[in-house]
Structure 1
Amino acid sequence: MRFWVGGYSSDMDGTAEGIGLLTAGEDGSPFASGPLSFRGAVRPALTSPSWLAAHPSLDVVYAALEGEGRVSALARTGDTSFAALGPSVEAGEAVCHVAVSPDGTYLLASCWGDGRIVRIGLDGNGRPMDRVVAPAARDPYGIDRGDPRDAAREDLDEPEDPRAARERREERMSGVAADQDAERRRSEIGLADAAAALRADAAAALRAAAGAEFAHLIPDHDRPAEPDLRGATLLTSAVDADAASRTSRAHAAAFLPDGRALTTDLGFDVVRVWCRASGRMVPDHEVLLPRGSGPRHLLVHPSGYVYVLTEHSAEVFILGADRAGQWRVRGSIPAAALTLPDDAGAELAASHDRAFLYAGLRGSDTIAVLRVAGDGGSLEQVALAESGVTWPRHHLVVRDTLLVAGQHSNDVASLSLDIRTGVPSKVRHRAGVPAPTRILRARD
């Protein structure tokens, strides 16, 4: 099985020379459980293609060139080569994510550096065409507490209906509750150092009780956390996130079955819901998360719920829509019961049968396993396992295998998954890969 690997080049303090080719086991196999082999960079050379996304029907890959702030479209021409579909397109500062619409007519680029959401139209060959910057986000916890939909209504000259006004008042009341929760979180920060020491002792005791066979499931919490100094993954503490210098930091996008789109803003703690109209993105409404939580990546689940992993608070939030199509927070759960105070959420992926979720935690370098319970409206903590790499930036589930990209350890590791319990095993295979940040399965 073949995979394209995105990574950081020298402009982002990495060593990748472009999109890399990774193989797992034999070509043509539907499984990724075999030995891993890195085959080097493919042509043409790109600078810091940190995120890769595939066209839904064409053998075309889109790369977010994070250091350059541009998006490149590439058509596959061979086993180890692509051809550029025109020049790269400007997106925004530190563009870190690209998502292609299910019908392949446009993509959304999320920019961590300046908060931009950019819509780029695609022609029938997957070539980028027009480029439109979506309305900028406003901080819902800012001084003016303005509603981003107000600006959208002014642009469209549409009146606000009574139901929308009532829902907006309710959201503002939710914002007050979220502020109170933020105060509680800040009061807990002072206990972080003591908690870290207790967790280290607890982890050591649990490893001793578990024995050699199961000790790998207990993270080594006395290992010092490693800060991220590379571009768009630069982390801020919970205190900094609550400071007056809050900045919009768009981070990811996903598409809903009804044609709308969701985007996360890690800096403003909101998930934005978008409608598509005449080739542009129109703000529909927003879902507020607790101040300082930092929504990063999200997963649209077949149950109809959306799960959002936060970077700063390392939680998974459950979003659900009411009958009117308004999305709201239905619940949340810490990614794991035992985490480091400075653990930072990275990627969120589902098992092959969608019964489990896997949340990457940088800092403790672990993978948190959660079970999807009931109708999908609740989650349960299952386990916390070692990722096998340093700084697990991204991971991908392929049937019974979890592939994990270690950005700082310069490798990709494969872990077997127990299909009954969802728990990852120890590392089975490993391949050296320069500064990997994204793993994308190649089209067969």
Structure 2
Amino acid sequence: MRFLVGGYTADMEGTAEGIGMLTAGEADSTTGGALSWRGTLAVAPSPSWVAKHPTRDVVYATLEGAGAVQAFREQGPDSWVARGKPVPVGAAPCHILAGRERLFVTCWGDGQVVQLDLDAEGGIRGSATADAASDPYAGYDQEARVSHAHQSIVVGPGLVATTDMGFDLVRFWQTGSRAPRLVQQVTLPRGSGPRHGILHPSGHLYIVAELSCELFVLAPDDAGTWHLVGGTPLGTGTLDGDTAAELTRSSDGTLLYAGVRGSNTIAVMRVTGEGEAVSPLALVEAGVDWPRYHLVIGDGLIAAGQRSSDVAVLPIDARGIPGRATTRTEVPSPTCLLPLP
């Protein structure tokens, strides 16, 4: 398989030079072949998140340190070139949700959620900033908190959820108009720090909390209003000071995998009931330092170590539990892996 690799460059204290290329194993397996770092495909400052247009040979990267988004188009098998100029969005953009007609960009630095409209060829043609979040816990103490938007997730037709680590919020937006329209928000426990999430086939939305190392379960009622319906700590083996990162699931949806930085582990959780119940199953070594990102492909879990500057493959056994890393390769300051068709 081929993966585009996002990473941190010198402006974010990293060693990457831009968007890179990684190959791993066969098309449907990550443990049957060696990892291979192919080098930098497009020079760019700290492209920390990379997303692909659904139908065009265009990818979009958050230039986190520069506060902008850059489009790239494929020029050949080993080269992507910039398409247009970087588009300013907000402070420290860290995630892009790419659709056919628009992008949603979340900015960790100042909490902005920005919609970028696309032309027919996937180029960026305009932007609109959504309403800013308000801290539901304002007045709890005298120190004001800062909004930190972190991810966008499609949760229904024309409906996108965004996480806000700083204000402990999951906000829901109606899309399709000039700017996103806020329709609802769900408040999570103070200081939990919702970071990333995935929509389960059951219709439940799972959110991993970076600061409290918990997993929360949200679901809509019959009227379409979302509620917090469950949750669990990621595991008894997490340590003080650990921070959760990425969240993925098994192909059959019965297991969830959360990366935990600090102790450098992967938390495995079981999904039961109709999707509303989750419980810790195992906590295993990630095989890398500071597992910023991971994903499950075939019979392996690929973990990207931001601080160890490597990517490792952990084989998954019949129970769905990752084992010790069987193969790895040096990759400069990786923060994101994007599988390519």
Same fold, judged at TM 0.5 (above): yes
In the alignment, which residue of structure 1 is the partner of 2:332?
434
* Bigger proportion of residues as strand: 2
In the alignment, which residue of structure 1 is the partner of 2:161?
262
Residue in structure 2 matching 1:94, options 79, 92, 103: 92
The alpha carbon displacement at 1:243 in A equals 6.6
- SS at 1:4 equivalent: strand
Q: Distance in 2 between matches of 1:387 and 1:115?
A: 29
In the alignment, which residue of structure 2 is the partner of 1:114?
110
- SS at 2:11 equivalent: helix
Residue in structure 2 matching 1:253, options 152, 164, 182: 152
1:362 and 2:265 aligned: no
- SS at 1:283 equivalent: strand
| Amino acid of the structure 2 residue aligned with 1:64 | T
Structure 1: gaps spanning 5 or more residues: 144-178, 180-241
1:6-17 correspondence to structure 2 within 5 Å: 6-17=6-17
The alpha carbon displacement at 1:277 in A equals 4.8
Asked if 1 retains the 8 angstrom alpha-carbon contact of 2:5 and 2:335, the reply is yes
Residue in structure 1 matching 2:223, options 296, 299, 324: 324
In the alignment, which residue of structure 2 is the partner of 1:69?
67
Q: Deviations over 1:46-93 (max 9, x none)?
A: 110000111112222110000000001111121111122211111111
Structure 2: gaps spanning 5 or more residues: none
1:131-170 correspondence to structure 2 within 5 Å: 131-143=127-139
Residue in structure 1 matching 2:76, options 75, 78, 90: 78
1:205-244 correspondence to structure 2 within 5 Å: 244=143
- SS at 1:87 equivalent: strand
In the alignment, which residue of structure 2 is the partner of 1:280?
179
Q: Deviations over 1:87-113 (max 9, x none)?
A: 111111101111113xx1101110011
| Amino acid of the structure 2 residue aligned with 1:124 | A
Asked if 2 retains the 8 angstrom alpha-carbon contact of 1:114 and 1:249, the reply is yes
Asked if 2 retains the 8 angstrom alpha-carbon contact of 1:412 and 1:432, the reply is yes
1:350 and 2:266 aligned: no
Asked if 2 retains the 8 angstrom alpha-carbon contact of 1:351 and 1:399, the reply is no
The alpha carbon displacement at 1:321 in A equals 0.3
Q: Distance in 1 between matches of 2:209 and 2:38?
A: 33
Q: Distance in 1 between matches of 2:176 and 2:72?
A: 27
In the alignment, which residue of structure 1 is the partner of 2:200?
301
In the alignment, which residue of structure 2 is the partner of 1:127?
123
* Bigger proportion of residues as helix: 1
The alpha carbon displacement at 1:400 in A equals 1.1
| Amino acid of the structure 2 residue aligned with 1:90 | P
Higher-Rg structure is 1
Asked if 2 retains the 8 angstrom alpha-carbon contact of 1:352 and 1:400, the reply is no
- TM-score normalised by L of structure 1: 0.75
The alpha carbon displacement at 1:258 in A equals 2.4
Asked if 1 retains the 8 angstrom alpha-carbon contact of 2:288 and 2:311, the reply is yes
In the alignment, which residue of structure 2 is the partner of 1:4?
4
RMSD: 1.2
Q: Distance in 1 between matches of 2:199 and 2:75?
A: 32
The alpha carbon displacement at 1:292 in A equals 0.3
| Amino acid of the structure 2 residue aligned with 1:2 | R
Asked if 1 retains the 8 angstrom alpha-carbon contact of 2:138 and 2:144, the reply is no
Q: Deviations over 1:207-243 (max 9, x none)?
A: xxxxxxxxxxxxxxxxxxxxxxxxxxxxxxxxxxx77
Asked if 1 retains the 8 angstrom alpha-carbon contact of 2:155 and 2:205, the reply is no
Q: Distance in 1 between matches of 2:200 and 2:178?
A: 26
The alpha carbon displacement at 1:337 in A equals 2.1
Identity in percent: 48
Q: Distance in 1 between matches of 2:215 and 2:113?
A: 23
| Amino acid of the structure 1 residue aligned with 2:81 | A
Q: Tell me the matched-pair count.
A: 340
Asked if 2 retains the 8 angstrom alpha-carbon contact of 1:361 and 1:367, the reply is yes
- SS at 1:302 equivalent: coil
